[in-house]
Amino acid sequence: MALVRKEREIPLLKMCDVLVIGGGPAGLGAAVSAAREGMDVILLEKRAFLGGNITASYVENCNYFLRNTPFKAEGLYAEIERRCYEEYGNDNARSYNQKAFSSEYLKLFLDKLVQEEGITVLFHALVNEVIMEGSSILGVIVQTKQGPQAIQARQYIDTTGDADVAYASGVGYDQGREGDHLCQPGTVSLRLSGADTRKLLENGRDGLSEIGRQFKAAYRAGETALACKRQDLPFGRLTHGGLISYVNYSCAYGLDPTDIQDLSKGEMECRTYVYDIYHYLKRTYDELKNIEIASIAPEIGFRDSRRIHGCYKLTIEDMESNRHFDDVIAVFPRFYDMLAPDAYMDGNGSVEGKGFAGHIYEHVVDERTFEIPYASLVPLGVDNLLVAGRCISADHVAESGVRAISLCMMTGQGAGVGAALAVKGACEPKDVCIAELQDRLRSLGLNIPSKEGA
Ligand SMILES: Cc1cc2nc3c(=O)[nH]c(=O)nc-3n(C[C@H](O)[C@H](O)[C@H](O)COP(=O)(O)OP(=O)(O)OC[C@H]3O[C@@H](n4cnc5c(N)ncnc54)[C@H](O)[C@@H]3O)c2cc1C
């Protein structure tokens, strides 16, 4: 059944060179890079703050997998990490992942950054419709308190994580695991106050890592009596004042991240698990006997969702063989982290295990890397749109590497510069000069191999 809506005129709110939709890691990379290329940039964000999953799901220890490896953060991510730390410090008493952000300070820092770059940010701005003219976007429609309003740009970048703009423009997509289309679980993170930091760290121990390991063993032995199917219990920062800034536990499985009925069910299901894990930790560990729930993340967070059909679909085979692409726009340490969409945890944990089934977690090994081609950011069928972040064109297992926050920021940078070159050259993003794009990205701090060095 469907209702018919009468056509109506949509007021034009603003115009710009480059419109970025979604203010998460990829959107920040795109907006800042396009602005640094001299573009007039508008950044639309449906929430009231920037940072995407870092700030909305408390995912503060983004680059934990680079610990004890030769790799360092690059480009805008490295700059934000350094400047945010210099400006606000970071009260992390754990030696584990010292570089984790404090996501509340990050919110403050990102507000300053976008203003410094001259980017116009509009919060509370959900985009779910576009006006097409042939195969080009004529404008996007923002749902506001004053009704729908249009924004027009010369180039558009979709960094919504769910590829909402590409979807609205008619770009094809895949979602979830090949075959059953199941996505990784959605998670509602939490923060706990009142932990006994001194005891958790006494004699050089890392009490939270110990608790995480004990939890997994207890879960597998059937001793926790918890309803949530998640077996891992990763923690974030532990402050001197007893705040555990991030508990990544409460997961709901089998949800479609784009379906409001599933989202509503998932939010409530996860919040019951938030209370369960809080109570379990409080009654089980002496160091945590005084904890309280300090906050519950404002929204369920997803690791994967729609993945666009682009000019090139990045595959796990490309990544495993470190295939070189002439249009490479980012090089990243080989790493995958896929929470089994069906909560099946008994695979061997590698990309080779059980036909990519089960939980896949591959550590960074030696200096192995993979490349992201620009063509994976270029959607099929729409002329003036680029896509960056976790929803680029990739297969499901490949996405479990592509989704890394700092890499999303790098693909965002690729899209930001690509869109700027398209504006300057009055061409479509797919036709920009790749050598110039790569040169610009190098100057923005990305480590792109030169043709000779490839
Ligand atoms: C619980 C959890 C733990 C994780 N742990 C890690 C980790 O340790 N390390 C790591 O590297 N990665 C981790 N990830 C994955 C990582 O968070 C994401 O892959 C990454 O944030 C993707 O960045 P993005 O910019 O593509 O999308 P997002 O971070 O999802 O940002 C998208 C932004 O767009 C906005 N938006 C969405 N739709 C619209 C719309 N229609 N209109 C306007 N705005 C819109 C959103 O509000 C959001 O701000 C984790 C994810 C979760 C959920």
Q: Identify the residue whose C-alpha is closest to ligand 1 atom 4.
A: 59
- Asked if residue 352 is part of any domain, the answer here is no
Convert the pLDDT of each residue in 170-213 to its tens digit. Answer: 999 999 998 899 999 999 999 999 999 999 999 999 999 999 99
55 CB near ligand 1 (under 6 Å) = no
Give nearest CA residue, ligand 1 atom 39.
160
Q: Which residue type sits at 392?
A: I
Asked whether the predicted pLDDT for residue 255 surpasses 80, the reply is yes
Q: What is the token pair recorded at 305? A: 């969702």
Going by alpha carbons, the residue nearest to atom 7 of ligand 1 is 62
pLDDT in tens, 307-358: 999 999 999 999 999 999 999 999 999 999 999 898 877 666 667 654 556 7
139 is a domain residue:
yes
Q: What pLDDT, on a 0 to 100 scale, did the predictor assign at position 346? A: 67
Q: 157-166, 225-234, 380-389: which has the minimum mean pLDDT?
A: 225-234
Return d(Cα 199, Cα 448) in angstroms, integer: 45
Measured from the CA of 391, which atom of ligand 1 is nearest?
26
Tell me how far the alpha carbon of residue 391 lies from the centroid of ligand 1, in angstroms. 10
Asked if the model's pLDDT at residue 157 lies above 60, the reply is: yes
Residues 199 and 173 grouped into a single domain: no
The Å distance, Cα 161 to ligand 1 centre, comes to 6
Q: Are residues 271 and 375 in the same domain?
A: no
Question: Mean pLDDT throughout 104-127?
Answer: 98
Tell how far the Cα of 401 is from the centroid of ligand 1, in angstroms: 14
User: Which of residues 416 and 348 earns the better pLDDT score?
Assistant: 416
Reduce the DSSP state of residue 190 to 3 states and report it: strand
Task: Please check whether residues 375 and 235 belong to one and the same domain.
Answer: no
pLDDT, position 384:
98
Q: Does the pLDDT value for residue 53 go beyond 80?
A: yes
DSSP label at residue 445? T
Nearest CA to ligand 1 atom 51: 303
The Cα 139–Cα 306 span in angstroms is 22
Q: What is the CATH number of the domain that holds 135?
A: 3.50.50.60
| pLDDT for the residue 12 | 98
Confidence at residue 354, expressed as pLDDT on a 0 to 100 scale: 46
Instruction: List the alpha helices (DSSP H) in 121-178.
Output: 164-168
Of 264, 296, 328, the last residue of a domain is: 296
8 A C-beta contact, residue 31 and residue 114: yes
Residue 408 C-alpha to ligand 1 middle, in angstroms? Answer: 9
How many Cα atoms are found within 13 Å in the side-chain-facing hemisphere of 80? 33
How far, in Å, CA of 374 to CA of 365, rounded? 25
Q: Is the pLDDT of residue 376 over 70?
A: yes
- Model pLDDT, residue 17: 98
Q: In what order do the strands lie in the sheet with 244-252?
A: 244-252, 186-193, 292-296
451 within domain boundaries: no
**How far does the centroid of ligand 1 lie from the alpha carbon of residue 56, in Å?**
8
Q: Decide whether any atom of ligand 1 lies within 6 Å of the 154 Cβ.
A: no
Q: Are residues 157 and 278 in the same domain?
A: no
pLDDT category of residue 123 using cuts at 50, 70 and 90: very high
* pLDDT at residue 422, rounded to an integer: 98
Q: What is the Cα–Cα distance from 301 to 162, expressed in whole angstroms?
A: 11
The pair of three-digit structure tokens given for residue 95, joined into one six-digit string:
């030696």
Pocket lining: 159 vs ligand 1, CB cutoff 6 Å: yes
Residue 454 lies in a domain: no
d(C-alpha 52, C-alpha 284), whole Å: 33
Cα separation, 322 vs 62, in Å, equals 23
Atom of ligand 1 nearest to the CA of 24: 31
Domain of 414, in residue numbers: 12-178+305-340+360-443
Distance from residue 55's CA to the centre of ligand 1 (Å)? 9
The answer to whether residues 162 and 191 belong to one domain is no
Q: Whose CA is nearest to atom 27 of ligand 1?
A: 161
Query: With contact defined as beta carbons under 8 Å apart, do 250 and 262 qualify?
Result: no
99 lines ligand 1 (CB under 6 A): no
pLDDT of residue 347: 60
Alpha carbons 165 and 402: distance in angstroms, whole number: 19
pLDDT for 454: 44
**Which amino acid residue places its CA nearest to atom 35 of ligand 1?**
22
Q: Are 334 and 191 contained in the same domain?
A: no
Whether residues 208 and 226 share a domain: the answer is yes
Distance 2 CA to ligand 1 centre (A): 32
Residue 1 lies in a domain: no
Pairwise CA distance, residues 412 & 416, whole Å:
6
Between the alpha carbon of residue 374 and those of residues 27, 28, 278, 301, 422, the distances in Å are 16, 18, 43, 26, 13
User: What is the 28 CA–ligand 1 centroid distance (Å)?
Assistant: 11
Q: What is the rounded CA–CA span in Å between residue 402 and residue 391?
A: 9
Atom 17 of ligand 1, nearest CA residue? 53
Pocket test for ligand 1, best of 28, 53, 359 (most atoms within 8 A of CB): 53
292 vs 178, residue with greater confidence: 292
57 pocket-lining for ligand 1 (C-beta < 6 Å): yes
Residues facing residue 303 across a β-bridge: none
Q: Is 23 in the pocket of ligand 1 (CB under 6 A)?
A: yes
Atom of ligand 1 nearest to the CA of 300: 53
> In this structure, are 273 and 309 located in the same domain?
no
Grade residue 452 by pLDDT with cuts at 50, 70 and 90.
low
Q: What does the block give as tokens for 318?
A: 């490309």
- For residues 190 and 157, membership in a common domain is answered with no
Taking CA atoms only, the protein residue closest to ligand 1 atom 30 is 161
Residues 246-255 as b or e (16 or more Cβ within 10 Å = b): bbbbbbbbbb
Cβ atoms 35, 173 nearer than 8 A: no
Ligand 1: distance of its center to the CA of 187 in Å? 12
Q: Is the CB of 305 under 6 A from ligand 1?
A: no
Residues 93 and 219 in one domain: no
Q: Are residues 164 and 237 in the same domain?
A: no
Q: Can you tell me which atom of ligand 1 is nearest the CA of 45?
A: 44
Question: 244 — phi, psi (to 5°)?
Answer: -100, 110
Q: What is the pLDDT of residues 19-45, one digit of tens each?
A: 999 999 999 999 999 999 999 999 999
Mean pLDDT for the chain?
A: 94
- 336 lies in the same domain as 436: yes
Percent of the chain exceeding pLDDT 70 equals 96
Q: Is 414 in the pocket of ligand 1 (CB under 6 A)?
A: no
Domain count of the chain?
A: 2
ipTM attached to this prediction: 0.99
- The Cα-based distances of 401 to 38, 58, 320, 340, 345 in angstroms read 31, 19, 11, 14, 18
Whether residue 27 has its Cβ less than 6 Å from ligand 1: yes
Cβ of 52 below 6 Å from ligand 1: yes
Q: What is the mean pLDDT of residues 272-296?
A: 98
